[in-house]
């Protein structure tokens, strides 16, 4: 099957749609792309739900090659209109409801955004023609691994085995993306990443929540005994991988992106307390999450072999950079905690 390879000359007229670009990973990806490919036009589409924060994008809002559009990816009419207007070459879909605990409370919105929103984007891609549609997925579609088998890792061939409404919705989207490739010949790629961390991480997630609570001398809630293991990936390393996939990855392929930085939750919490000079007495163990996955661990051999990617940032270095970022950008996360961040859009666009 034919697939498109990009050349340097394509960049001058390249328009890239980044959905969910006001969220954690999406915003970091936009910063990475603006720096790496200054000739590209970047169009950010974001509904600005609880996890979308327009103030995060303040460094690029006035860039002449950047445009922000407040839009739900499920809004078929407006999505199609935007595709016709901008004629994107690449679509990178970060837009997703992504908090596991919220998916347990209200599965419906996860199914709508993560599955039907993906369908809407791909239908628009089919109608208006794109060179690459990239679906950003998660290692959670594989389920979990036993704690006593450190030799086991997720590969691209690991069967899908979901544990939560969130991971089930992401797995469903992945299958739909693959079906659109096989049925309609849509030029797609999929990446499944391990847990990301770094600047602009929404404060209800583990690492920023622990940093914020520790700085405010509040209890640090840890599920169960804190022995669940995650493979942590510094967000800039993830952005670099996606950039490589959309330019050089083979159409139709899935690529796992992992950091080879497996840590227990309790190790991370204690490390944050150590870096902030806070007492471990702040740790409070709470009832474990329903269906809580034990261990995630990715084997990124394929992306290293095919594209030459590997992570640059080891966890003990990345967590120092992350803690320092939160210390230096308290206003950013404090406005999220108090809810003021949701007024930023009206401030910026209310009179436009």
Would you please indicate which residues are annotated as catalytic (active-site) residues? Answer: 139-140, 166
Token pair listed for 58: 């303040």
Q: How far is CA 256 from the centre of its chain?
A: 13
- Unique residue bearing structure tokens 């890792």: 153
Task: With CA atoms as reference, report the closest residue to 284 among 230, 205, 198, 214.
Answer: 214
Angle between the N-to-C axes of helices 206-215 and 315-328, in degrees from 0 to 180, rounded to the nearest 10:
50
- Unique residue bearing structure tokens 């599955």: 115
∠ CA 251-254-255, nearest 5°, is 110
CB atoms within 10 A of CB 64: 6
∠ CA 210-212-214, nearest 5°, is 65
Please state, in angstroms and rounded to a whole number, the distance separating the CA atoms of residues 162 and 277.
Answer: 38
Maximal CA-CA distance, the chain? 59
Please state, in angstroms and rounded to a whole number, the distance separating the CA atoms of residues 334 and 175.
Answer: 38
Please state, in angstroms and rounded to a whole number, the distance separating the CA atoms of residues 172 and 111.
Answer: 9
Judge whether 261 and 330 are in contact, CB under 8 Å.
no
């Amino acid at each position: 099957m034919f697939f498109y390879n990009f050349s340097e000359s394509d960049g001058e007229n390249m328009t890239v749609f980044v959905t969910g670009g006001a969220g954690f990973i999406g915003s970091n990806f936009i910063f990475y792309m603006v720096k790496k490919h200054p000739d590209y036009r970047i169009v950010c589409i974001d509904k600005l739900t609880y996890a979308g924060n327009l103030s995060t994008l303040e460094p690029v809002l006035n860039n002449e090659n950047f445009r922000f559009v407040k839009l739900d990816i499920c809004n078929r009419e407006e999505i199609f209109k935007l595709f016709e207007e901008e004629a994107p070459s690449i679509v990178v879909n970060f837009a997703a409801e992504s908090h596991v605990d919220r998916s347990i409370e209200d599965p419906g919105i996860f199914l709508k955004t993560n599955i039907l929103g993906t369908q809407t984007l791909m239908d628009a891609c089919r109608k208006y023609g794109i060179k690459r549609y990239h679906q950003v997925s998660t290692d959670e579609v594989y389920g979990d691994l036993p704690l006593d088998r450190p030799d086991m890792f997720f590969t691209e061939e690991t069967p899908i085995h979901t544990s939560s409404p969130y991971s089930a919705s992401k797995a469903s989207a992945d299958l739909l993306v693959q079906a659109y490739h096989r049925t309609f010949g849509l030029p797609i790629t999929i990446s499944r990443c391990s847990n990301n961390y770094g600047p602009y991480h929404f404060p209800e997630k583990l690492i920023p929540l622990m940093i914020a609570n520790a700085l405010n001398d509040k209890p640090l809630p840890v599920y169960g005994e804190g022995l669940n293991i995650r493979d942590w990936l510094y967000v800039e390393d993830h952005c670099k991988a996606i950039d490589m996939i959309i330019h050089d990855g083979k159409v139709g392929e899935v690529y796992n992106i992992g950091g080879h930085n497996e840590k227990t939750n309790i190790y991370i919490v204690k490390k944050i307390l150590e870096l902030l000079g806070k007492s471990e007495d702040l740790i409070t163990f709470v009832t474990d999450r329903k269906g809580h996955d034990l261990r995630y661990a990715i084997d990124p051999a394929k992306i290293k072999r095919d594209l030459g990617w590997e992570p640059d940032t080891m966890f003990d270095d990345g967590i120092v950079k992350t803690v320092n970022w939160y210390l230096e950008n308290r206003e950013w996360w404090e406005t999220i905690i108090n809810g003021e961040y949701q007024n930023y859009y009206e401030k910026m666009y209310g009179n436009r």
